């Protein structure tokens, strides 16, 4: 049996996401039957705290509503540096 492990998310309607790369790797067709095993990863408290601190610091260098080209440079503003 072929297997692929990936991290997905539960969608609003309760369905699970399945990346295109996984569908291709397993050669899955619409309505294909698959076995699903779900587990919830442990959250590292220090990692969560660091992520929250980083989130709180975003955009502090600019006046509210004054980020130039905010839509065009979205990822740069969120993640820092050039992507």
pLDDT, greater one: 83 or 37: 37
> 9-13, 45-49, 77-81: which range is least confident on average?
77-81
Q: For residue 42, name the pLDDT band (cuts at 50, 70, 90).
A: confident
Indicate whether 49 belongs to any domain: yes
Indicate whether 36 belongs to any domain: no
Indicate whether 4 belongs to any domain: no
How many domains is the chain partitioned into structurally?
1
The answer, yes or no, to whether residue 75 has pLDDT greater than 90, is no
Q: What percent of the chain has pLDDT over 90?
A: 35
SS3 4: coil
CA distances for 67 relative to 13, 53, 54, 73, angstroms: 35, 20, 18, 9
Structural domain harbouring 70: 45-79
User: DSSP label at 16?
Assistant: B
Tokens of residue 61, six digits: 């260098």
Indicate whether 10 belongs to any domain: no
Per-range mean pLDDT, top range of 29-33, 38-42, 44-48: 29-33
């Amino acid at each position: 049996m072929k297997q692929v492990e990936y991290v997905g998310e539960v969608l609003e309607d309760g369905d699970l996401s399945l990346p295109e790369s996984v569908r291709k790797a397993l050669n899955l067709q619409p309505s294909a039957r698959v076995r699903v095993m779900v587990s919830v990863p442990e959250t590292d408290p220090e990692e969560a705290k660091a992520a929250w601190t980083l989130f709180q610091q975003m955009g502090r260098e600019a006046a509210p509503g004054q980020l130039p080209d905010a839509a065009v440079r979205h990822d740069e503003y969120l993640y820092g540096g050039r992507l």
